[in-house]
Structure 1
Amino acid sequence: MVAYYPPLGFYYKVEFGISQMSNDVRFQTVSGLTVEYDYESFKEGGENRFEHKLPVRTKYADLVLKRGMLTDSSVIKWFIDAFRDRTFEPASVNVILMNEKSEPLRTWKVAHAIPKKWQVSDFNANESAVVIETMELTYRYFTVQS
């Protein structure tokens, strides 16, 4: 009998529907695959021990992606178009966790993503650090596929 081992979180890729470039799938970190419910409280007359809490809607955190800066990237062109020209073209984004055989273990399909924030790390002549660009996306929802 083989024991189950949880997957490791370092082998993944991020696919953008707007890019076919091989470098646009590589990111140092991915965060924000979070969903939670907003709740509404209702107080019942005569019942003072508790409130009823009912789920109202789901809300999703922003997707934050970090990587070493690329000088040629379709994703960055998409960000620049949004911030410079105010052209917001929604894109699909797939975050794919893979196993040691490069097979997908789980895929998070992010729907209707648009740029929210783009940040480039500080430049410092006293350090020899890689320039990191941080991309923040807002989106409607995600689905999970195994």
Structure 2
Amino acid sequence: MANYYPPVSFHFMVEFTGISSQATDTQFQSVSGLSVDIETEEFAEGGENRFKHKFPVRTKFPNLVLKRGLVIDSEVIQWCRDAIESFQFEPTDLTVKLLNEEHDPLMTWNVVHAYPVKWTVEDFNAEENKLAVETIELAYNYFTLV
């Protein structure tokens, strides 16, 4: 019987389709928001007072949140700035790849029609010794597991 070891969650990369192929634009500290909820609608049946029927209605995807150390010359940040400063939105697809020890993808999430909705840089504080971290928040339609 073979032993199964779950993959580690710290070895991953993010690729933006058509925006950048720079290594700094694929490396992030964390990715969150790869989840889906199914909204339900309740229906009360006449004569049945013990419960209400629940029916699936649609799926709901939260925003995708990407964090990394501040990158000075980034095409992804330029894409975000075009949307935020000039209100020129160019939705794009991106992939999040969980990698094994040989850097091959174990799982791939294809995020469809993503566009920036928030960009923040953490507070600067002279009393702390830490990296400047930027956060990019993206809205998207849905994701699929490839």
TM-score (norm 1): 0.97
1:137 match? 138
The SS at the match of 2:56 is: strand
Paired with 2:140 and 2:89, the residues of 1 have a C-alpha distance of 12
Deviations 1:48-68, CA, capped at 9 Å, x for gaps:
011000000000011000000
Q: Residue 4 of structure 1 aligns with which residue?
A: 4
Alignment-mate amino acid for residue 16 of structure 1: F
- Secondary structure class of the residue paired with 1:58: strand
Q: What is the Cα-based RMSD across aligned positions, in Å?
A: 0.7
Gaps of 5+ in 1: none
Tell me the equivalent position of 2:38.
37
| Alignment match, 2:75 | 74
What TM-score comes out, normalization by structure 2 length? 0.97
Q: Which amino acid aligns with 1:6?
A: P
C-alpha displacement at 1:128, in angstroms? 2.1
Write the distance in 2 (CA, Å) between the matches of 1:124 and 1:50.
54
Q: What are the equivalent positions in structure 2 for 1:1-146 lying under 5 Å apart?
A: 1-17=1-17, 18-145=19-146
Q: For residue 84 of structure 1, what is the amino acid of its counterpart?
A: E
Secondary structure, counterpart of 2:138 in structure 1:
strand
* TM-superposition CA deviations, 1:119-146 (whole Å, max 9, x none): 001011112210000000000000001x
Q: Aligned pairs, how many?
A: 145
Structure 2 unaligned spans of 5+: none
Secondary structure, counterpart of 2:85 in structure 1: helix
Q: Which amino acid aligns with 1:51?
A: K
What residue identity is the alignment partner of 1:60? F
User: SS of the residue aligned with 1:41?
Assistant: strand
| Counterpart AA for 1:111 | V
Cα deviation code 1:67-116 (max 9, x no counterpart): 00000001000000001100000011100001111110000000000001
| AA in 1 matched with 2:144 | T
